[in-house]
A = this chain, B = another copy of it.
Amino acid sequence: MAILLDSHLQCSECPIRHRAVCAKCSTDELGELTEIKTYRSFRAGEPIMWRGDPLEYVASVVGGVASLSKTMEDGRTQMVGLLLPSDFIGRPGRSEIEFDVTAATDVTLCCFRHRPFEKMVGTTPHLSQRLMELALDELDAAREWMLLLGRKTAREKIASFIEMLVIRSNVDGDAARSQMLELPLTREQIANFLGLTLETVSRQLNAMKKEQILEFKDRRRFKVLDFGRLHDETGDDSDGGVIY
């Protein structure tokens, strides 16, 4: 479960605010939580948890990007979630996971052991209520993504993806318009997220560059020059007009 919420738990060591904990929780409860925590780091590409694994800990992403994905026997894979810093990995009341969690970039997690965390959830109504809210947020996001996967064109998928990055980069402040952004994924990972091939992702991205909608500093860093035309029809590159 990836979690996005406006509550916070700032512990001394973590550079981000944890979003999985209810803002109303008392400091005592926070203390109990921070006591059971440890850090874990993963290199880009490393598996974090595997489908069917027993769930030994829940975690907040402190740095980097992790992905949730499902893979078919023949290798086709579909990403079903992206975990950015401050997002939460965990399934309240569950002891197994149903998908693979992989480090997309180098990732640092702030982990809480599963059992104590569950116990705390059981005794903290605010927290369990908050977790329910988070699960429903996830569900809404998943459904929005189903619309994208089932009905949008390649161009629209890319546009939605970039829009999501813009929105997520606005966390703690709305100044992100036209600022430099980073694609946190390779072309192949983006393709797996959007239900496309890496070639199609590359072509669409370069088309938007040619159309002056995006500007690339390097393969990863870019800027949105024209939000209005992000969702435009493709084609129509009519770079000369009528020849008479």
Contacts and interface: CB of A to CB of B under 8 A. Distances in A.
Contacts of A93: 129, 132-133, 136
A151 B151 CA distance: 13
Nearest to A145: B146
Contacts of A135: 132, 135-136, 139
Contacts of A140: 98
A173 interface: no
B138 A70 contact: no
Question: How big is the A interface, by class?
Answer: 35 or more
Nearest to A135: B135
The main secondary structure of chain A at its interface with chain B is helix
A72 B195 contact: no
Contacts of A203: none
A78 interface: yes
Contacts of A132: 92-93, 128, 131-132, 135
A85 interface: no
Contacts of A68: 143
A91 interface: yes
Interface in A92-139: 92-94, 98-99, 125, 128-129, 131-133, 135-136, 138-139
Contacts of A146: 70, 78, 80, 142, 145-146, 149
A129 B129 contact: no
B80 A143 contact: yes
